[in-house]
Structure 1
Amino acid sequence: MFGAATIALFVMFFSMVFIARQPLGNPDTWWHLVMGHAYLDGTSVRHPGPMSPLGTEDWRSRDWLSQVLMALFDDAFGLPGVAWLLGLALVVLFIACFRLCRRLVPFGPAVVATGLAFFSMIGSLSPRPQVVSFILLVVTLGALLRTAEDLRPRWWLAALTAVWACSHGLWFLSPGLQLVFLLGLVMDRRLGRKSLRPHVLLLGVSVAAVALTPNGVHLLTHPTGPSMDIAHYIQEYEPTSLSFPPYAAALLMGFVVCLTWARRGNGSWLSVMLVGLGIFLALYGGRTIPLGAILLAPFFARAINTWWPKTQAFVPLATERVVVYGSALAALVALALMVPSSAAAPDDYFPTSYDSQLSVIPDDAVLINELGDGGYLAWKYPDLRIVGDGLTDQYSVEWLESWFKARLGEPGWDEFVQRSGADYALLDDSSPLRLGLMSLGWSIVQEGQDRVLLTSPDR
């Protein structure tokens, strides 16, 4: 059993190498690099102001610490460094999940539970600050599970919450999870009025720690920004189906836990609340599947351990550590050797073949673009006036909705085109807006890479 689990562990580490060695292909990665370099060049973290020519809104950064780290690796090693940083984050996330499960079950079940949880996250594992949130959620969950055992508050969670608030917008999961644990322990009658006080104080200190960060007060009053107002236009927020393997994997974890409880029982309200929250997050949408998988992982590990063969021979803990950390180190070394050739340029998905045309667009011209190209265009052509990019916070909700509706050819698309002052458009070649623009006399400048570059009749 130990040998099979070791092989599975090694394969999973090198699966992370395969993910990270790819050319940078996530649309949001580029905007985070733009922001990170802006902060390194002196842009204020507290008051960055509009970062794009058509941005109008006052906003506050939720990801600045992660963005600065990405930019530092970009400065030092170029795009291969950013790809390797992703590999490092994936390895840290995997080891954190493994240690979370290993505290509860033997090596074999811990490897299986970690592997399935990691597979459930795979659709969201890209060079973006959200991976930091996944890591910190695992650490927070592990700390609170230890608190559930000994009822001792982990005061360092307050500092961790403050770091989280500077790294990604999901920081509110820390106080939220602390609150769930308090309610669960009270319902389980494990905390009385006196013993509850330090835990309530920790929750308050964690919130206060967020308020002390550069944008903390704004984060407390605007925890999600405008992104939820336009969530119905963003694929990651949409519900998914069982045909999406990571979604099916997360639901399988929840099903196995519930089946095991039905057969063997579960006497903890806290466990029910955490598993219920995990299943809800897995069901809610594509973007929250990883969060649900993380919450389900330790309970899934315990569940499969009850079904696991008990014939596994004892393996020294030192041997396990050599296997885990040795595999992780080997994966990171292999990745470092691969990325200089594999990740030195953007993914072919992006409109790299349009360089000669986009680079000569006049500075006063405006380009209507697709959402998926916005971050890349902002990174590659910093002087190009595009109508939108990955930093939705700097645009009004009304502007974003008009842009998304125009791309879909919905009523009012022509008003948005006129309002934006657009002279050019780089669109999907199947975009309804393409047909609308051509009906107004716009002409094709270039086609390819599933896109079309159009220019207005006035140019």
Structure 2
Amino acid sequence: MIAWGVCAVLAGLLLRLRTAPDVDLWLHLRIGRSLRDGEWFGTLPDPLSALADRPYVPTQWLAQVGMSVVDDVAGVTGLHAVRALLLVALAALLAATARRWAGPLAAVVVATAALVATSAAWGERPQLLGLVLAAWSLHLWAGTLVDGRPRWSLLAVAWLWSAVHGSWPLGVGFGVLVLLALALALAPRPAPVQWGRLVVLLAGTALVPVLGPLGPRALVEPFAVGMAARSTVNEWKPPAPGNPLLLLVLLLALVVLVRLVRARRLDLPSLLLAGAGVVLAASSVRTIAVGALLVAPALARTLRAGAAPARRERLPGLVVAGVFLLVPGVVLGGPEAGPLPRTVGAAVERLPAGTPTVVDAYASGWVLWAHPQVRVLRDLRAEVYSPATAAAYETFSATGPGWEAYADEHGVDAVLTRVGEPLDRGLSGAAGWSRAAGEGEWVLWRRG
């Protein structure tokens, strides 16, 4: 009970550090509403952004529709409740996976450390649901690592995962790691390993997404998104060496290595899982959380004190989970407002329908959601802009050479930016532009 309490306290404190909803939330709500209204994507012109020159494929369609429904019923508070439940599920899955090898207390400790390392992915967005499904997939594959038998429910998990988030290929990667771990395991090794069925299962998890509405495009689109985002989106870039969550994953991996050295035991599966976790954590900010998922079972394997879990072990976790949902700031009292102050938001609302508007990336999703009459030039979907289009827009945003001609070429009549940003400074001295509204860190400029 105490260990689960510590887990809940840490999770609650980390959630309370978030003073605003996730910047991507509003874009997902807008897309979800469009999908519910029968508006599909995948063609041009793009219904949301004026500059998009590549079709948007809604790889997160089920999560976006679900988020829109929850928002209609219970608002952002309802989305906070869903997030809290997903965090409870994530902690439970981490503990259940660790429990395959470790004792009850050790499993909770491992789960708590790994859960904290995933905290950058706790926003109100499909990514969190994808992370929970990743933990579920890893839990099932971990069972295979114990007894060598296939878990056919992985096919259902893979299909659901492909409908809610583009990270689903990681589940195929988990399967490859487990098969390698089984091949490398010295002792104890499950016997007999059902290699034929496991290979069929692995292939099935890679192909089952084609049964969704995206068809074969579901197999390639996650990679296209990744390649487009890696060069422009910070969370797709490698984390700074001092990133605390990266350091936590590295520390857990180091503990795995130290424990194996002290025990004078060569456990290749543990080293494989921990190594893969470190590689993922170091490759990008958004995959630190996935790296933590992999390091957790590696650490649990070094604690080998497990036995069959008893039903009574679930009670403390359930009690603490119930309390966690009632903590102020977790569900009730969480941040709900959009980024724009009242006067600036009102000025944006008064813009004529279809006005070509440049919007700071942080507010673009909110404008698309709360002010759908505005024609935003560019939003947060990096994959719908070709490199040339993205580069030209970045030059304009930095008021680089030819930025005023760019505004004329695209008929830009309004610019929503932050005070002190290059566009704010540039427009203050540009002919034909005036401040329409300003409050706090935001300002709206109008032409004419």
TM-score by length of 1: 0.87
The equivalent of 1:124 in structure 2 is: 121
The equivalent of 1:86 in structure 2 is: 83
Which of residues 33, 40, 50 is equivalent to 2:36?
40
Instruction: Return the offset for 1:319.
Output: 4.1
The equivalent of 1:113 in structure 2 is: 110
Preserved contact between residue 17 and residue 332 of structure 1 (Cα < 8 Å): no
Residue deviations 1:87-125, cap 9 Å, x none? 111111111112212232122222221111111111221
Please identify, of 132-141 and 329-338, the stretch whose mean Cα deviation from structure 2 is larger: 329-338
For the residues of structure 2 that align with 1:167 and 1:102, how far apart are their CA atoms? Answer: 27
The equivalent of 2:410 in structure 1 is: 420
For 1:270-309, what aligned pairs fall within 5 Å after superposition?
270-303=269-302, 305=303
Task: Sort the Cα spacing of 1:167 and 1:244 in 2 relative to 1 into closer, same or farther, 3 A.
Answer: same
Task: Sort the Cα spacing of 1:376 and 1:227 in 2 relative to 1 into closer, same or farther, 3 A.
Answer: farther
The equivalent of 2:150 in structure 1 is: 153
Preserved contact between residue 84 and residue 331 of structure 2 (Cα < 8 Å): no
Instruction: Return the offset for 1:400.
Output: 2.5
For the residues of structure 1 that align with 2:63 and 2:354, how far apart are their CA atoms? Answer: 33
Q: CA RMSD in A?
A: 3.0
Instruction: Return the offset for 1:39.
Output: 1.8
Task: Sort the Cα spacing of 1:352 and 1:170 in 2 relative to 1 into closer, same or farther, 3 A.
Answer: farther
For the residues of structure 1 that align with 2:226 and 2:427, how far apart are their CA atoms? Answer: 28
Preserved contact between residue 16 and residue 334 of structure 2 (Cα < 8 Å): no
For the residues of structure 2 that align with 1:48 and 1:104, how far apart are their CA atoms? Answer: 52
For the residues of structure 1 that align with 2:265 and 2:253, how far apart are their CA atoms? Answer: 14
The equivalent of 1:221 in structure 2 is: 220
Which of residues 324, 330, 334 is equivalent to 2:323?
330
The equivalent of 1:143 in structure 2 is: 140
Task: Sort the Cα spacing of 1:255 and 1:416 in 2 relative to 1 into closer, same or farther, 3 A.
Answer: farther
Preserved contact between residue 86 and residue 127 of structure 1 (Cα < 8 Å): yes
For the residues of structure 2 that align with 1:355 and 1:364, how far apart are their CA atoms? Answer: 16
Preserved contact between residue 121 and residue 290 of structure 1 (Cα < 8 Å): yes
Instruction: Return the offset for 1:434.
Output: 2.6
Instruction: Return the offset for 1:215.
Output: 0.8
For the residues of structure 2 that align with 1:428 and 1:419, how far apart are their CA atoms? Answer: 23
Instruction: Return the offset for 1:173.
Output: 0.7
The equivalent of 1:372 in structure 2 is: 362
| 2:313 is aligned with 1:320 | yes
Instruction: Return the offset for 1:205.
Output: 1.7
For the residues of structure 2 that align with 1:138 and 1:83, how far apart are their CA atoms? Answer: 20
Instruction: Return the offset for 1:230.
Output: 4.0
For the residues of structure 2 that align with 1:98 and 1:244, how far apart are their CA atoms? Answer: 25
Preserved contact between residue 233 and residue 404 of structure 1 (Cα < 8 Å): no
Preserved contact between residue 44 and residue 53 of structure 2 (Cα < 8 Å): no
Residue deviations 1:239-294, cap 9 Å, x none? 33354322221221112112222332443433322211100111112111101111
For the residues of structure 2 that align with 1:231 and 1:413, how far apart are their CA atoms? Answer: 25
Task: Sort the Cα spacing of 1:87 and 1:209 in 2 relative to 1 into closer, same or farther, 3 A.
Answer: same
The equivalent of 2:441 in structure 1 is: 450
For the residues of structure 2 that align with 1:372 and 1:395, how far apart are their CA atoms? Answer: 17
For the residues of structure 1 that align with 2:98 and 2:67, how far apart are their CA atoms? Answer: 29
Preserved contact between residue 67 and residue 129 of structure 1 (Cα < 8 Å): yes
Gaps in structure 1 of 5+ consecutive residues: none
Instruction: Return the offset for 1:126.
Output: 0.5
Preserved contact between residue 56 and residue 395 of structure 1 (Cα < 8 Å): yes
Instruction: Return the offset for 1:195.
Output: 4.2
Gaps in structure 2 of 5+ consecutive residues: none
Preserved contact between residue 359 and residue 415 of structure 2 (Cα < 8 Å): yes
Task: Sort the Cα spacing of 1:239 and 1:205 in 2 relative to 1 into closer, same or farther, 3 A.
Answer: closer
Preserved contact between residue 87 and residue 335 of structure 1 (Cα < 8 Å): no
The equivalent of 2:167 in structure 1 is: 170
For the residues of structure 1 that align with 2:121 and 2:209, how far apart are their CA atoms? Answer: 25
| Letter aligned with residue 261 of structure 2 | A
| 2:58 is aligned with 1:64 | no
Identical aligned residues as a percent:
25
The equivalent of 2:389 in structure 1 is: 399
| Letter aligned with residue 11 of structure 1 | V
For the residues of structure 2 that align with 1:131 and 1:48, how far apart are their CA atoms? Answer: 29
Please identify, of 189-198 and 132-141, the stretch whose mean Cα deviation from structure 2 is larger: 189-198
Task: Sort the Cα spacing of 1:350 and 1:249 in 2 relative to 1 into closer, same or farther, 3 A.
Answer: farther
| 2:99 is aligned with 1:102 | yes
The equivalent of 1:390 in structure 2 is: 380
For the residues of structure 1 that align with 2:5 and 2:72, how far apart are their CA atoms? Answer: 36
The equivalent of 1:431 in structure 2 is: 421
Residue deviations 1:174-230, cap 9 Å, x none? 112212222333344879999422221112222221111111311212323345324
**Which structure features the higher share of helix residues?**
1
Residue deviations 1:352-400, cap 9 Å, x none? 4412211111224211111111111101100101111233344434323
Instruction: Return the offset for 1:133.
Output: 1.5
Instruction: Return the offset for 1:47.
Output: 6.4
Task: Sort the Cα spacing of 1:413 and 1:14 in 2 relative to 1 into closer, same or farther, 3 A.
Answer: same
Task: Sort the Cα spacing of 1:13 and 1:357 in 2 relative to 1 into closer, same or farther, 3 A.
Answer: closer
For the residues of structure 2 that align with 1:17 and 1:137, how far apart are their CA atoms? Answer: 21
TM-score by length of 2: 0.89
